Amino acid sequence: MRGDFGTEHGIDSSATVRPRRIFGRLCRHCHNVSRSSDRVAVGRRRKRWVGKPWRRFAILLVALASAALTSGSGCVGSPVRFEPSQLAPPIGDLPGWRQIFVDDFNSASLSDRWGVYDGQPGGDPLSHWDPSRVATRDSQLVLEGYPEDGRWVTGGVSNHTVAETYGRWDVRFRIDPSDEVKFAILLWPQGGDWPPEIDFLEDGGGDRQKASGFVHYKTAGGRAQDQRAVAADFTQWQTVGVEWLPGNIAFTLNGGVWATVTGASVPSQPMWMAIQEQFAGCERKASASSFAGCPIAGTPERAALQIDWVTIYAPG
């Protein structure tokens, strides 16, 4: 499919969104495995516990090691799982929210629930998206930005298969510092008519010690936006999110609400999530008085945005 994005984040009809193979599973057999394992363990204890004291101690050590290995698995993927951010995704419904999607990127390739950007962002002649900058490795989704053939090439993905009118999105991520590579985690209208747009975290490049949330919307005279700002170290793992309900948007950081937007600017149409890097952060800073000029953090040869997991909920 093709993403028809506005000039704010640059995806237009020239940027192709390529779907990939499916992944994203809940471990439906986990409870059955646990019950079976319990029966086996109980049977063995009845035979061995009456033995010598050293046998009792050895059995206790095995039980404790098993519990340590399997704890926190959350029934996603295999019972023993590596989490890059040391925090597993929440599995199951939350109060007021019904979980409809989880991906912790434990597959060798990206699922076909996602599309991969390919092409030049609209209104951004200095940047280019390419599928080669998107990878799943070490149980995470990685978007990279680095120069090639005299231009910067970055990665972007869309979760276009999961469009919701109202909901909750949570993303566990971190990003390398870079003055030139900016990023956005956003909701885009399913119909492609921009605005609206909800950027629940956006950064114009720099040392990643602060970021913004935006709501773009139409007015009688054209277009407008509401902006909020938050301070945090986004070079470290953080969980960012948005809770979107009728007339209310709440931006969240590690489960806590850090800002809200209410009223007529809040959209009421189906939207899906996109995560992307783009180049030309310094050019944007130079043209906008609200940004400090470059250099801030410098421009390393590579800047990676790493996503450990994504969860999506519908109201209910």
Domain assignment of residue 11, yes or no:
no
For residues 213 and 170, membership in a common domain is answered with yes
| pLDDT band of 289, cuts 50, 70, 90 | low
Q: Take residue 100 and report the two structure tokens written for it.
A: 């409809």
For residues 129 and 203, membership in a common domain is answered with yes
Domain assignment of residue 227, yes or no:
yes
Q: Give tens-digit pLDDT for 129-185.
A: 999 999 999 999 999 999 998 889 999 999 999 999 999 999 999 999 999 999 999
Distance CA 182, CA 127 (A): 11
* String of DSSP letters for 80-93: S---TTS-PPP-S-
Domain assignment of residue 6, yes or no:
no
Distance CA 25, CA 279 (A): 34
Q: Which of 29-38, 106-115, 249-258, 266-275 is the least confident region? A: 29-38
Domain assignment of residue 214, yes or no:
yes
Which of 47, 70, 93 terminates a domain? The answer is 70
Q: Take residue 302 and report the two structure tokens written for it.
A: 């590579």
In this structure, the chain runs to a length of 316
For residues 225 and 161, membership in a common domain is answered with yes
SS3 168: strand
For residues 96 and 197, membership in a common domain is answered with yes
For residues 47 and 95, membership in a common domain is answered with no
SS3 212: strand
Domain assignment of residue 133, yes or no:
yes
End-to-end CA distance of the chain: 30
Is the distance from CB of 156 to CB of 277 less than 8 angstroms?
yes
Which of 70, 97, 130 terminates a domain? The answer is 70
User: Within 10 Å of residue 256's Cβ, how many Cβ atoms?
Assistant: 10
SS3 278: strand
Domain assignment of residue 273, yes or no:
yes
Q: Give tens-digit pLDDT for 86-100.
A: 999 999 999 999 999
Q: What is the CATH number of the domain that holds 274?
A: 2.60.120.200
Domain assignment of residue 17, yes or no:
no
For residues 121 and 192, membership in a common domain is answered with yes
For residues 101 and 58, membership in a common domain is answered with no
For residues 65 and 89, membership in a common domain is answered with no
For residues 186 and 262, membership in a common domain is answered with yes
Q: Take residue 145 and report the two structure tokens written for it.
A: 């930005």
Cβ-in-10-Å burial (0-12, 13-18, 19+) of 74 comes to buried
Determine the residue type at 66.
S
Instruction: Kindly report whether the global pTM for this prediction surpasses the value 0.85.
Output: no
Q: Which of 166-180, 211-225, 238-252, 271-285 is the least confident region? A: 271-285
| pLDDT band of 127, cuts 50, 70, 90 | confident
E-assigned strand segments in the chain: 16-19, 97-103, 115-118, 127-129, 134-137, 140-148, 151-154, 156-164, 167-175, 182-189, 197-203, 210-219, 222-231, 238-245, 248-253, 256-262, 271-278, 303-315
For residues 188 and 241, membership in a common domain is answered with yes
Mean pLDDT of 274-291: 81
For residues 66 and 199, membership in a common domain is answered with no
For residues 154 and 177, membership in a common domain is answered with yes
Is the distance from CB of 188 to CB of 261 less than 8 angstroms?
no
Structural domain count, the chain:
2
Helix, strand, coil % (nearest 5) of the chain? 15, 45, 40
* Domain residue limits at 50: 30-70
Q: Take residue 309 and report the two structure tokens written for it.
A: 């997991």
Predicted confidence at residue 271, as pLDDT, reads: 98
Domain assignment of residue 58, yes or no:
yes
Task: Name the nearest CA neighbour of 157 among 270, 17, 24.
Answer: 17
Task: Name the nearest CA neighbour of 157 among 40, 315, 1, 314.
Answer: 1
